[in-house]
Structure 1
Amino acid sequence: MRERVRTAARVVLTCLLVLSLGLTGWRLYRLASDPLASVVAERTGEAIEARLETLMAREATPERIAARLGELLAETPRDWARIDALTELAEAREVVLPEAVVAALAVADAADRSFLDRAADCAVCMWDATRCDLVLVFACRAPIEVTPIGDAASVIREGLHYQRGEDVDEIDLTLSVVGLGAVAIAPLVGGSSLTLKLGAGLTRTAWRAGALAPRIVADGRRLAGRAIDWSKLADTTPLRFADDLTAAMRPRAIRPIAAFAGSVGRMTKAVGPQRALVLLREAKNPAEVRRIAAVAEAGGRGTPGVVVLAGAGKVSKLAVRWSDEFYWLASSLVSLVLCIVGLVLGTVKALLLRLLRRAATPSRRRLP
């Protein structure tokens, strides 16, 4: 009777093992082949807002903000984009800063941001984008860079470089083309052409100011070379530009660039151009840009200060959660492991019992 029970248990465990192995394989196949299946899923705006409020209550304390402001004020040169984001967060949260920090802010502001100094810095920034900080680039360059005038100037400038055989800034040119061709490109990624124009222009401004993370720049370079057939645009004319642009686009390569610009555009509409530049600089990769855009839409103008205070990685995690597919895969893996452990333990137990019986049974000598 016991042998039958053990046999039945082994059969059941074997069947469960096969079933668990099949379910695990199926879940892995779904994650690998289905574009809609993912290990993580996006949270709703209300869920993001609730978690952002919890994060701000924990991070945006008077002590933390004062300490971070002290660090930024001690830097040379001072990063006024981050300083302004933190002071704005403190005002929004009604945080009373220590008098010493308030006095240090006033002294630094008077030293760095007098009218004459800012006018001279703005002139330098307009001449050379690499010498702009984020406050200057917004005040001095963005009004032109984010408009079709800036996009058209970039296309003409880089097109001349291409014709002369000179180095072409493919990132700048691709973003300008995305901005000019937003109406044609928007259907590839969804959303409005205005959001795409805003995002492309602001991303190009950040690129020219050197405010994009190395990972974002590397991805941009990799995609820009394949996104557009530049030879078709080299000889275009203003009257043929729209038609030539549509013919020159390669949808598969340009889609991630347009999606990135769309995320920046959403970010810009949520918090404004200057604050969006702060968020864009803090992000380390395109995935963080997309997630921070979702947080900015839920959190509004206080988001840049939280990112400066807590870090882009921590804030971006507020926008995602483990997906149902992940939980199904985890449960399948757990059941698979348990079945394997059960079979191994059952086999070990049977072997041990067999050895114990042999040891307990007296040996019989053969008669001559």
Structure 2
Amino acid sequence: MILRLLRVLPLTVTVTATVWALSTNPLARPFVDRAADDLRIALERKVSRAATSDWIEGALADAVATRDVDRARMLMDLSADLNRPVDTRSAETMIDARSGWAARVADCAACMADVSTCPTLTQLASCAVPFEMSPLGDLNALRRAGMAWAADETVDELDVGLAAIGLAATGAVVVSGGSSVTVKAGTGLLRLARRMGSLTPGLARTMRVPIRWEAFPGYLRGSARLEDMTDIAQLNRLTATAADLGRIREATTTAETLRLVRLVDGPEDAARLARIAEAVGPKTTRTVAVLGKGRVFRATIRLSRAAAGTLILLWLTAIQLAILLGTRAAALLLHGFVRHDTGRTAPVPGARPVRAPRLPPR
């Protein structure tokens, strides 16, 4: 009996631990968000493995072919940080050609006139962003909407919603001492990305704010409240997304945020990208460029310890049950073979032995 109990003791302990682990319901939410330091280490490790010299050279050749100065500079910095031997002569020649004084002045003038013509995001950030992120940019957006509405033309409701949030945040900055600066910056970036055409259709669709046009003139005059002109719940969702973009800008730069906004398809993407930017910092753009959106976003979560422990216990339980059942089946099968062989060769009790007949001599 003691031997039998000792044989089933490991299985009993494992099953008991598994039942207790399952009672805590760890598989209801098996994945949890990584901490900032853990996320940074995981992403840096993945980038170091993926960004080989061949990969950087191919990406740098594409940047030179498309005359993408920002991407070329980012790839050159990446090769230097990772000590990857890469030929950068063609990229340096292209950057020098676009970095002359006369070229910068001409590009900046064109950029201020039309943001879609900015050759680099850095010039966009220095030439067009200051105006668009100021209250004058919000008022200009409302002016465009008012003129379109008066002319019975299509009005960009997202642009109007962003301008309304921007003006409201501007007032909050004065009152609260700067707590809404992030929201104000995010609305300016979203509006600028909208005019650049880099706002994804999914984000534009989910961020569209309904406007009650009968209250629009009163809001411009200051006689109507913001909640009289639009849906506050939808406006709050847009505000949260703008705040996430503002967090990205604080962790990186304005130019990098305008490039990263192309990856945002909804509020969830904006929140996750903000977490990545706060963990990786200025390396966010190159991390996404090397790994891609899917791999970077998947790296933000990990299997929880409780779920991992429960899965290990389930695996141990299955293994021990298989061993126990296999041992029992093998014993029964061996016992059956022994009984069958014994019944065929053993003498019958009470029977006389059969002797061979004696042959006569010749």
Q: Give me the whole-angstrom Cα distance separating, in 2, the residues matched to 1:251 and 1:47.
A: 37
- Give the structure-2-normalised TM-score: 0.70
Q: Give me the whole-angstrom Cα distance separating, in 1, the residues matched to 2:149 and 2:60.
A: 46
Give the equivalent residue in structure 2 for 1:161.
148
Q: Is the 8 A contact 1:61 1:95 kept in 2?
A: no
Which one of the candidate residues 226, 233, 237 is aligned to 2:216?
233
Q: Is the 8 A contact 1:288 1:312 kept in 2?
A: no
Give the equivalent residue in structure 1 for 2:324.
none
Q: Is the 8 A contact 2:165 2:239 kept in 1?
A: yes
Structure 2, unaligned runs of 5 or more:
1-18, 319-362
Q: Give me the whole-angstrom Cα distance separating, in 2, the residues matched to 1:137 and 1:282.
A: 19
SS at match of 2:219: coil
SS at match of 1:86: helix
1:59 is displaced (CA, Å) by 2.4
Give the equivalent residue in structure 2 for 1:106.
92
Give the equivalent residue in structure 2 for 1:316.
297
Tell me, yes or no, if structure 1 residue 142 matches structure 2 residue 129.
yes
1:264 is displaced (CA, Å) by 0.5
Which one of the candidate residues 48, 62, 67 is aligned to 2:53?
62
- Give deviations 1:60-102, integer Å, cap 9, x for gaps: 3433322211222123xx22232233233334x253543xx32
Change (3 A) 1:322 1:184: farther
Structure 1, unaligned runs of 5 or more:
1-18, 32-37, 339-368
Which one of the candidate residues 170, 191, 199 is aligned to 1:212?
199
Tell me, yes or no, if structure 1 residue 79 matches structure 2 residue 105.
no
Q: Is the 8 A contact 2:166 2:187 kept in 1?
A: yes
Give the equivalent residue in structure 2 for 1:259.
240
SS at match of 1:276: helix
SS at match of 1:295: helix
Give the counterpart letter for 1:253 in structure 2: Q
Tell me, yes or no, if structure 1 residue 122 matches structure 2 residue 108.
yes
Give the equivalent residue in structure 1 for 2:334.
none
Radius of gyration: which is bigger? 2
- Give the structure-1-normalised TM-score: 0.68
SS at match of 1:236: helix
Give the equivalent residue in structure 2 for 1:34.
none
Q: How does 1:299-314 map to 2 (within 5 A)?
A: 299-314=280-295
Q: Give me the whole-angstrom Cα distance separating, in 2, the residues matched to 1:113 and 1:196.
A: 33
Q: Is the 8 A contact 1:42 1:321 kept in 2?
A: yes
Which one of the candidate residues 40, 59, 62 is aligned to 1:49?
40
Q: Is the 8 A contact 2:47 2:290 kept in 1?
A: no
Give the counterpart letter for 1:314 in structure 2: R
Give the equivalent residue in structure 2 for 1:342.
none
Give the equivalent residue in structure 2 for 1:95.
83
Which one of the candidate residues 187, 192, 195 is aligned to 2:182?
195
- Give deviations 1:21-73, integer Å, cap 9, x for gaps: xx9xx999xx8xxxxxx675432212211212212221234333222112221
Change (3 A) 1:322 1:220: farther
Percent identity over the alignment is 29
1:123 is displaced (CA, Å) by 2.4
1:151 is displaced (CA, Å) by 1.1
Q: Give me the whole-angstrom Cα distance separating, in 2, the residues matched to 1:312 and 1:233.
A: 39
Give the equivalent residue in structure 1 for 2:268.
287
- Give deviations 1:298-318, integer Å, cap 9, x for gaps: 111111111112212211222
1:154 is displaced (CA, Å) by 0.8
- Give deviations 1:262-308, integer Å, cap 9, x for gaps: 11010000012112212222445443332121111011111111111
Give the equivalent residue in structure 2 for 1:297.
278
Change (3 A) 1:87 1:282: farther
Q: Give me the whole-angstrom Cα distance separating, in 2, the residues matched to 1:85 and 1:178.
A: 33
SS at match of 1:321: strand
Q: Give me the whole-angstrom Cα distance separating, in 2, the residues matched to 1:229 and 1:184.
A: 22
Change (3 A) 1:88 1:284: farther
Q: Is the 8 A contact 2:52 2:84 kept in 1?
A: no
SS at match of 2:64: helix
Q: Give me the whole-angstrom Cα distance separating, in 1, the residues matched to 2:264 and 2:196.
A: 15
1:249 is displaced (CA, Å) by 4.1
Q: Is the 8 A contact 2:76 2:88 kept in 1?
A: no
